[in-house]
Structure 1
């Protein structure tokens, strides 16, 4: 059965959510129905799963909300000296094991931890990684107390311990809570989550919903900003700070003479991610429409992660090629300062488990230098073309047109974006202001907002 709202299906499952039904209404952006947040304080930013998913896409598997059960009371704790582990039996009947070394390393007392910073002050050189345990007992306040051979005592709160259980299910749940790595894949039928710009700036719940949607879906529309420069900076200050690049703190996307970037022309922009010429490209991009073109200028986006997984299924060899070969990118010019940027990136970046974590592709800045053995050149071109052809299928690409005051926020590591050519009458120049943020800054703000809204540690 489909879940009632995306918030129930795609938000981190360890996050406590209101059970009230979201009240939403629809507006239209660029000819497509879009979800808009109404003013009720209990609303979710998210469309229903069926509205979001489009035809033929699949929901990711849901995680259990609490792999170890709801209760955090300790029934019993004992030392297993042969295994050098502490066994904790919970009141709900579950059990957890904790290595002695890890427990001593993470003692929470004021001697071992700087309480004001939550930072470990115990030095690794002072840690006996082969330590035993002299005594274990559960205190009247249900804390687990350990007396170590050096006569140091550690006390551990049961909730703190249970959250850090080493079972696969608990580790997976905690990592999802920390990093929110589950994704909702989409195609041309996506209804872009949309929120009010001023509400995001001034209401923590609205800002949290915005960032959660940005993380899960990869793109969120903000309506209602004034059509003047400076709104990108205002929005970035809500999160933290902008990423300074060679194009400045913000950049003006206009048709310019002697343009130092293809974006600064009125021609077609093919699907791309920004700045693969950097080894660490910006993670999030804001684009604010100040003035739209008279004719043309529609934006195009595609879910690069979804297309990478499709490529993995349909053409495994092409996926293997693009996720293993490091390709040269370059960007040279003058803007905020003179620059000659050079990088080597994989088109499809995967982590050690093979999960897609970043797309690096801009055909304009892909270098003519191709540092590959001769026998890999043709397979590379065949693989890259297969990926591009997959992304540019009409059923996979979403098209919309921004209006003055609109701000689109999107995941630059995941989405590939482009633009159709445009024409403007004299004296009416299409103008967008853009800016970048790093995902570390965005995720930091998301966690702070989550704690503010839901009281989570």
Structure 2
């Protein structure tokens, strides 16, 4: 657990924090912006009634009065004085923003960790458990979902709001000739990210099995975080290029022509790797100098090999009444080929935005009153450390999440 202790120094008129043994002075301007009184902060929405951008950049602390281990009255040079509960700063030091840390996995992972029953998700505690599984592993298998049309939307709405695309609120996945996507054929589909040609990409995909009468057509999932750790070890130069060189992705249909450029390896604003935009059916090799192009392609080629490796790829039969939900850029999905003459293989899919489950998780956790302890604050982060913001962070220096 991430341990946070606060030091209130009346003699020096200063406040600081120790996070996992690392000391951080809390500047006066930083504290002034975070005033907590009801005249400046709405208690319900946590939104400010004032514009902090207009504060004096040279504001200073002139008096600090300790009221409790984590409670102090602070007086500033601009005339403001107010009471501060330092426990309210816990979120500032939580690199996971209240969510559980992610755990990269390979194909030998205990598969029972991913399963939850739909009935369990109907309670707040059960939903919180399901979201925690999803945030940790990037995937969730929901059992005992009714094999009825639109049931995928019912499950999706438990976690967030359905994102409608040109495919509709939900889409049907079954074999049909001359379809506008190879997903609607019986051909094999290697591990891929859905819709890398959109901005933003769908964050989460759900696929619900209504019928599966085929012996093949196995579902596949692979955690790109594990794969990327290996790729970075093997080819740091190629890895860096995949982090920084934009790739063009395109989806072409009679009614829409979608084009987007993005790097294959995705990172968050702090530089931590979050997943990949990977779809060999839809991407185009960027125009680079000869040497860089060879390095880029070599890394892209090796990435594809690792994604398909039995060491990383989990293959399973998605049974009728089961629904798989996965982080679209972290956990890539695919399908083995099948013979449509054996019978129907019918899935329904839907998308929701990536921030929705995390937002619901934090709200549920807050309602249960487990956001803070009294004196020493422990966050849910067990993987990764808080760092002062690095304004020079780039894709080239991106570090693996955690």
Task: Indicate whether the TM-score tops 0.5.
Answer: yes
Q: Mapping of 1:294-309 within 5 angstroms?
A: 294-309=214-229
| 1:381 match | 297
Deviation at 1:97, TM superposition (A): 3.2
SS at match of 2:15: strand
Q: Mapping of 1:287-436 within 5 angstroms?
A: 287-334=207-254, 338-351=255-268, 355-367=272-284, 370-425=286-341, 428-436=343-351
Quote the Cα distance in structure 2 between the aligned partners of 1:164 and 1:411: 23
Deviation at 1:317, TM superposition (A): 2.6
Aligned residue pair count: 369
Quote the Cα distance in structure 2 between the aligned partners of 1:321 and 1:352: 18
Q: Which moved more, 1:372-381 or 1:118-127?
A: 372-381
Deviation at 1:339, TM superposition (A): 1.6
Equivalent in 104, 116, 138 of residue 195 of structure 1: 116
Quote the Cα distance in structure 1 between the aligned partners of 2:69 and 2:271: 44
Q: Which moved more, 1:218-227 or 1:112-121?
A: 112-121
| 2:29 match | 101
Quote the Cα distance in structure 1 between the aligned partners of 2:23 and 2:270: 28
SS at match of 1:422: coil
Quote the Cα distance in structure 1 between the aligned partners of 2:320 and 2:173: 14
| 1:10 match | none
SS at match of 2:351: strand
Quote the Cα distance in structure 2 between the aligned partners of 1:429 and 1:416: 24
Q: 1:180 to 1:199 in 2, by over 3 A?
A: closer
| 1:122 match | 50
Quote the Cα distance in structure 1 between the aligned partners of 2:70 and 2:369: 25
Quote the Cα distance in structure 2 between the aligned partners of 1:348 and 1:95: 33
Quote the Cα distance in structure 2 between the aligned partners of 1:253 and 1:94: 51
Q: 1:127 to 1:333 in 2, by over 3 A?
A: same
Deviation at 1:425, TM superposition (A): 4.0
Contact 2:287–2:293 (Cα < 8 Å) also in 1? no
Flag structure 1 segments of 5+ consecutive residues without an equivalent: 1-12, 14-64, 166-170
Deviation at 1:94, TM superposition (A): 11
Q: 1:123 to 1:116 in 2, by over 3 A?
A: same
Q: Mapping of 1:204-223 within 5 angstroms?
A: 204-223=124-143
Q: 1:307 to 1:109 in 2, by over 3 A?
A: same
Deviation at 1:177, TM superposition (A): 4.7
Deviations 1:217-255 (A, max 9, x none): 122111101111111111122123111222111111111
Flag structure 2 segments of 5+ consecutive residues without an equivalent: 373-402
Does 2:167 correspond to 1:247? yes
| 2:10 match | 78
Quote the Cα distance in structure 2 between the aligned partners of 1:371 and 1:94: 45
Deviations 1:314-341 (A, max 9, x none): 222332232222111100115xxx2211
Quote the Cα distance in structure 2 between the aligned partners of 1:132 and 1:320: 42
Contact 2:99–2:361 (Cα < 8 Å) also in 1? no
Deviation at 1:96, TM superposition (A): 6.4
Q: 1:286 to 1:350 in 2, by over 3 A?
A: same
Deviation at 1:280, TM superposition (A): 2.1
Quote the Cα distance in structure 1 between the aligned partners of 2:366 and 2:57: 34
- Tell me the TM-score normalised to structure 2 length: 0.83
SS at match of 1:176: coil
| 1:440 match | 355
RMSD across aligned C-alpha pairs, in angstroms?
A: 2.7
Q: 1:118 to 1:137 in 2, by over 3 A?
A: same
Contact 1:304–1:416 (Cα < 8 Å) also in 2? yes
SS at match of 2:61: coil
- Tell me the TM-score normalised to structure 1 length: 0.74
Deviations 1:350-370 (A, max 9, x none): 356653212101111114x74
